[in-house]
Structures are given as C-alpha cells and as structure tokens.
C-alpha cells in the first residue's frame, strides 16, 4: 500500500515533487510507526467492518483500531470478541479468494481492555491474529505495562510473527502532577526493556480530561486545555528525545458535524479561493461544517511538537490528517541542503527560499525526520499543498 494511492498517475505527478513510497505490511517497525497517519478508531461491534475493508470504502485509509474497551459496553465484551473473530475470518477468506490483496489491507490494531484479554483473543482467534499489526494497550501504566508485553511475547511466540504494542497513556498517575514524573520514568524503563515491540505511544486525552470533568469544544485544541497540555509536554520530554526516538501520536479529534461556533474559523479563505475559485470556497465551507478546521489546527500543533499520526473517529478526517504529513517542497529542499552540508565545512547558510537561515548542526535531527516523512507521505510540488488532496 501507499498513501494517496487513490490518485491516478497524472494527478500524482501534478501534486507531488517526490512520490510517496510503497509501504509493505511487513515493513520495518520504524517505517510502520511513522506510516499509520490517520488511524480510524471504531467499536469492534461496528457492522460491516470486513466488508468496508474488502471494498476499500474509506478513501486513504491505512490504519485502524478495533476497540474492545471504552467504545463498547461492559456487557458487550463477548459479543465484541466474537465480532472481531468473524471479521478476521471474512478478511482472510477475501484474501484467499482474491477479492482483496493482502498488502491492501490496512494496518489493523485491536484495543484490549487488559493483558488477560490478549491471550483470550489468541485462544479464540488463533492464527487469524496474523492479520493484525498489533494491539493498543489501554490504561497503560507502570503497574500493568510489563504484563501487557509479557502476554504479547507469548502470543508472538505461538504465532511465529511479530505483533506490536501501542501503549496508550491515559491514567491518573500520569496526569496527576505529583505522580507524573516518577510514573513516566518507570514506564520508560518498561518500554526500553521491550523496545523492539513498541510501535508507537498514544495519548488518551479524552480519559485525561475526564479526570477533571473537562471536554474541549470544537473551538479549542487539546493544547488549549492547560492541564492536558502540561502533561503532553512532559510525555514529549520523556519519549521524543532523539536518543530514545519513540514515535508519539496525537490525541483523538472527536468532532465531525456542524454546530454552533463561538470563535471565527481558523481555515483561511486564500488557499482555497486562489487555487480553485468558487469551487474552493465550497470546499472550505464543507470542511468548516465538519469541524475540519479545528482538526487541521490541532494536527499542525501536533506536528510542531514532534508528534506524528492521529487517532480519528470519522472517515472524513483521514485525508485532511494525512495530507498534513506530506512534506512541503520548501521543507524538503531545506532538509536536503542541511544534510548535504553536514561535512564540517559550513555551519550556517541561507535557505534556497531566501526566507530563513539553516544551521547544519542544530537542524540536522529535524532534517532527518523530514526525510523520513517524505519517503512515506511524499513531497508536494512548489505550487501544491494539503488543499490539493482534500478538494
């Protein structure tokens, strides 16, 4: 699979200076971790999950989470596990019958309630779990983290396949300030011991907010909720250092329909009107009605803080999120120039866009991350941007 594979060859050449590269479902952990993009979250009980995958209903979908935890009721656990089993059976049959290619199946994760459920799912689903890429570990903390990875190792050994873990940080011992740093330190020790199985780390901002009786509106980002922002800051400090190099994903955006606004929309008219005229204005209005401007704003803040990938709850979010991870031509040229000059002969030079100074040593790590994104999501041509993909 590859990002934006719904484009034909002509469209792709018009939009991209450098094409997104193909991603194998058996690619390296480092590639998959950055390639998840907009991860569509849904209850495992949702109807026609397998059918939608087989028919490629959701344009641009590359990763999804089937939830067995908060998205289903406590009395639905067995029903949800059985639904997961049936959907995996249907996908396997469709692959065998040639209805869908194995490599076209999205990266599928299952969000489990606890470590014990992992083994129970193996006993129920057996080798069908090979269709998964991994599990999301809900309410992950220093108290249960080792158990999660121990159970994952057991089923990996039985399956003879590596399934990954995605810890979700969302418990009170992480958000409460007096417990946070010691807890994050202990969590980091667990993750370091199981580094080869950690795909990426996810932030449960909804659960964090619940502990304070807070819910952000469509006019605010998670970074506007200061108690959550401060916690995310510490999580970034622990896990996004270059020497640790975990991939940290952005919290879920939960709005998908129009309603009353208090603040003015943040989505500028100019990028749409200049490129597409009246049609562009209609596109912008549609995005505003779906609260996509708030989502775009939050993804830009995620990106500025070093996060990549985002949990989403509606298919309309997939393309806007993924389009914002494609690299601009300016970013790409700057990154290439910085790495090309990393030979000790020069320390600083003017950007070829003549709008900034590039310092080789301080910007080297940034440049390397830009090139990682460029391989997966592509590089826009000079006159192209995210609006080219969501029009």
Annotated domain spans of the chain? 21-256+307-314, 330-390
Burial of residue 25 (CB within 10 Å: 0-12, 13-18, 19+) is: middle
Say if residue 293's pLDDT is above 70.
yes
**pLDDT 10s digits, 182-205:** 999 999 999 999 999 999 999 999
Say if residue 129's pLDDT is above 90.
yes
**CATH-assigned architecture of domain 21-256+307-314:** Alpha-Beta Barrel (3.20)
Q: What pLDDT is attached to residue 267?
A: 72
Say if residue 258's pLDDT is above 60.
no
Q: Which two tokens stand for residue 287?
A: 């995005």
Say if residue 289's pLDDT is above 70.
no
The separation between CA 309 and the C-alpha centre of its own chain, rounded to angstroms, equals: 2
Reported as a pLDDT band with limits 50, 70 and 90, residue 275 is: confident
Distance of alpha carbon 25 from alpha carbon 327, whole angstroms: 22
SS (H, E, C) 143-187: CCHHHHHHHHHHHHHHHCCCCEEEEEECCHHHHCHHHHHHHHHHH
Parallel, antiparallel, or unpaired: how do β-strands 134-137 and 164-169 relate?
parallel
pTM: 0.92
Q: Which residues pair with 65 in a beta bridge?
A: 41, 109
Burial of residue 283 (CB within 10 Å: 0-12, 13-18, 19+) is: middle
């Amino acid at each position: 699979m590859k990002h934006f594979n719904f484009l034909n060859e002509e469209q792709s050449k018009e939009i991209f200076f450098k094409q997104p590269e193909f991603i194998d479902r058996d690619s390296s952990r480092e590639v998959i971790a950055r390639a998840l993009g907009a991860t569509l979250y849904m209850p495992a009980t949702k109807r026609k999950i397998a059918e939608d995958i087989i028919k490629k209903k959701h344009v641009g979908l590359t990763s999804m989470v089937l939830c067995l935890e908060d998205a289903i009721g406590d009395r639905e656990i067995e029903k949800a596990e059985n639904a997961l089993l049936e959907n995996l059976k249907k996908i396997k049959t469709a692959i065998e019958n040639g209805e869908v290619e194995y490599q076209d199946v999205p990266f599928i994760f299952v969000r489990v309630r606890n470590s014990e459920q992992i083994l129970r799912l193996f006993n129920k689903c057996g080798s069908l779990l090979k269709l998964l890429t991994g599990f999301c570990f809900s309410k992950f903390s220093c108290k249960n983290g080792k158990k999660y990875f121990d159970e994952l190792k057991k089923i990996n050994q039985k399956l003879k396949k590596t399934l990954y873990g995605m810890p979700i940080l969302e418990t009170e011992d992480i958000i409460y300030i007096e417990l946070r740093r010691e807890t994050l330190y202990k969590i980091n020790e667990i993750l370091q011991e199981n580094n080869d199985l950690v795909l990426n780390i996810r932030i449960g901002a909804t659960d964090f907010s619940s502990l304070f009786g807070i819910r952000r509106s469509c006019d605010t980002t998670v970074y506007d909720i200061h108690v959550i922002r401060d916690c995310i800051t510490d999580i970034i400090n622990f896990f996004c250092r270059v020497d640790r190099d975990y991939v940290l994903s952005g919290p879920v955006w939960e709005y998908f329909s129009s309603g009353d606004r208090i603040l003015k929309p943040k989505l500028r008219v100019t990028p749409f009107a200049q490129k597409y005229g009246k049609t562009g204005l209609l596109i912008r209005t549609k995005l505003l009605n779906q609260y996509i401007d708030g989502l775009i704003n939050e993804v830009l803040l995620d990106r500025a803080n070093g996060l990549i990938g985002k949990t989403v709850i509606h298919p309309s979010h997939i393309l806007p999120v993924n389009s914002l991870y494609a690299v601009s031509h300016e970013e790409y040229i700057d990154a290439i120039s910085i790495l090309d000059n990393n030979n000790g002969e020069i320390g600083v030079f003017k950007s070829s866009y003549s709008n900034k100074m590039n310092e080789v040593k301080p910007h080297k790590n940034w440049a390397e991350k830009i090139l990682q994104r460029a391989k997966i999501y592509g590089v826009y041509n000079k006159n192209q941007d995210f609006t080219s993909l969501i029009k």
